[in-house]
Chain A
Amino acid sequence: MSTQAGPPPMVQAANVSKWFGDLVAVSDVSFSIGAGVTALLGPNGAGKSTLLRMMCGLARPSNGMVTVLGKNPRTDVAVLGRIGMAPQQESLLDYLSGREFVELTAQLHQVDNPVEAARQAIQTVELDPDDPRRLSTYSKGMRQRIKLAQAIVHDPLVIALDEPLTGLDPRQRREMIQLFHRLGDEGKCVIVSSHVLDEVERFGSRVLVIAQGRLAAEGDFREIRNLMDDRPLRISIRTDQPRVLATALLENSVISGCRLEGTDCVVVDTTEPAAFRRAVAPMARDRDASLLELRPLDDDLESVFRYLVGQ
């Protein structure tokens, strides 16, 4: 299990597993998270939401232990007062207005001035606290933001946000990411899940990569990015001279293997994608070969995660 230097971790998972019947959602995951923004990155169905639910006490680990601020959030009701969560699902208490919804959260958390706290939280997410409309009329982006407002209205120490940027426009995303950083800088533990690689890059934070229920990688985003960039890549090249081009690429050690497909296609494997990209065009030109198409075959997020799991 990894530990962060400095202050004690605010959220800790020790050998946590969670299964639903035969389905293993989370498998033997251990980590520690302290103050600041931490991204939980992984494809859909990787187990991110299940992990977040266990961190908030909403689900019981089948094995292992999750603690928040040293307490078990599943059994210690008091520690729930220090947790704020925006779940992934869109559903809200639709018969309430946005202000009533956030006020309710403040009241249940026994905030001193729930009306004012709700007003501030709603303004923080750039919604109108005086909007009398019911939540049922809110757009997807507005629902995301009101969920954020209820997650922060009681000034929690640990904030778990499940795909919070879904449905927001680029400007709102930028604002929200700034808000996450501000909260992190204030010493709060902000855990944000996402399946979008570029989105997580913009968090510029510590990353836990979850794939197939396992912790595939963790660390600073740049380290993860480098790890991803170094992975072998399979590329399909369509050219009028596939045999000639493949031979040249092999001779120059730009690729580690190749396979001819049909009369105008060669599929190559490379462990140096950057070098390959630099070399392929000049080599084709030198041999009078026309490059018709270059297509990465495993550049989707799933394959990136599969690679990381294998590492």
Chain B
Amino acid sequence: MNSHIYRVVVRSQISTGRLLALAGLSGVAILLAFVARAADDPVEVATRSMGTFGTNIFAPFIALALGSAALGNLVEDRTLVYVWLRPVPRHSVATAAFAAVISVVGPIVVAVMTVAAAITGVGDLLVATAVATALAVFAYSGIFLALGLRFKRSLLVGLGYIAIWELLLSRLGDWFARLSVRSYPMSILSDATGVEMRLADRSTLASYVVPLAVGFAGLVYTSWRLSRTEID
């Protein structure tokens, strides 16, 4: 990993719009936690809230906003040349960008969701939420980093992916659900509290391994793409 590129990508990710989005979604997470705490069945409501909001909305949308921009913005404003035209191996550039996304998105999303889990008062949910959210962030960051390099309007493509693939097609059957990232972290939450949720019936091993594999696959694709792409 190249630390200089890492620092530049981290710096490029900080914008007022993104910080506002982050703050807004964090507020919603905390609000949902208080609602779950006050519910008649806090375990069920809290598990569903953490699953539906944390792994289905918060993690993917923040990973999309920052992941697709990490290299995507450099492509769009034609400044990738200032990173690419250096004697730096392409996998090192990709790893630095991936690490930058993870290190910005991860701590914030995981911390907010863990605090939210703590607010619900459901003890079993605390560690499970932290792990499930972290794995979701890892997987989605890999996907959206690659998407940012592959597509010009990566934000729109990413929104389409979340809306159509993750939220719609995954409901069509088990085969589709297996290809949906969110089903794996949701299974971790379901395992922890025993609350049954739609899609959350992956094996324990798969729940941990698949998100990691997806994240790494995104990283590998990004490296490959960087070595093949023509720089504007």
Q: Which of the candidate stretches A106-114, A233-241, A248-256 sits at the interface with the other chain? A: A106-114
* Cross-chain contact A105 with B12 (CB below 8 angstroms): no
Assuming the contacts A58-B230, A59-B230, A108-B4, asked whether A80 and B79 have C-beta atoms less than 8 A apart, the reply is no
Within 8 A of B (CB), among A77-129: 77-81, 83, 85, 87, 89, 91-93, 95-96, 101, 104-105, 107-110
Chain A positions within 8 Å of B79 at CB level: 91-93
Q: How far is the CA of A92 from the CA of B77 in the complex (A)?
A: 8
Residue of A nearest to B15 (CB): A95
Tell me the smallest distance from the CB of A17 to a CB of chain B, in Å: 15
Question: Which of A80, A85, A104 is the one whose CB lies under 8 Å from B8?
Answer: A104
Residues 38 to 86 of chain A near chain B (Cβ within 8 Å): 53, 56-60, 77-81, 83, 85
Residues of B within 8 A of A56 (CB): 85
CB neighbours (8 Å) of A80 from chain B are 85-87
Q: A-facing mask of B76-104, CB < 8 A → 1, else 0? A: 01110111111111100000000000000
User: Is A150 an interface position by the 8 A CB rule?
Assistant: yes
Q: B8 contacts A93, CB within 8 Å?
A: yes
Indicate if B2 sits at the interface (CB-CB under 8 A): yes
B5: interface (CB < 8 Å): yes
Contact of A108 with B231 at beta-carbon distance under 8 Å, contacts A91-B79, A95-B12 already known? no
Assuming the contacts A77-B89, A93-B12, A95-B11, asked whether A105 and B230 have C-beta atoms less than 8 A apart, the reply is no
Size class of the A contact interface (CB-based, 8 Å): 20 to 34
Decide: A108 and B81 in contact? CB cutoff 8 A.
Answer: no
Cβ of B82: which chain A residues have Cβ within 8 Å of it? Answer: 92-93, 101, 104-105, 150
Complex contacts, A78 vs chain B, CB 8 Å:
87
Contact B81 A85 (CB under 8 A): yes
> 3 nearest interchain CB pairs?
A81-B87, A108-B86, A58-B231
Q: Given A59-B231, A77-B90, list of 8 further CB < 8 A pairs?
A: A58-B232, A78-B87, A79-B87, A80-B86, A92-B82, A104-B82, A108-B5, A109-B86
Contacts from A to B (Cβ < 8 Å): 53, 56-60, 77-81, 83, 85, 87, 89, 91-93, 95-96, 101, 104-105, 107-110, 150
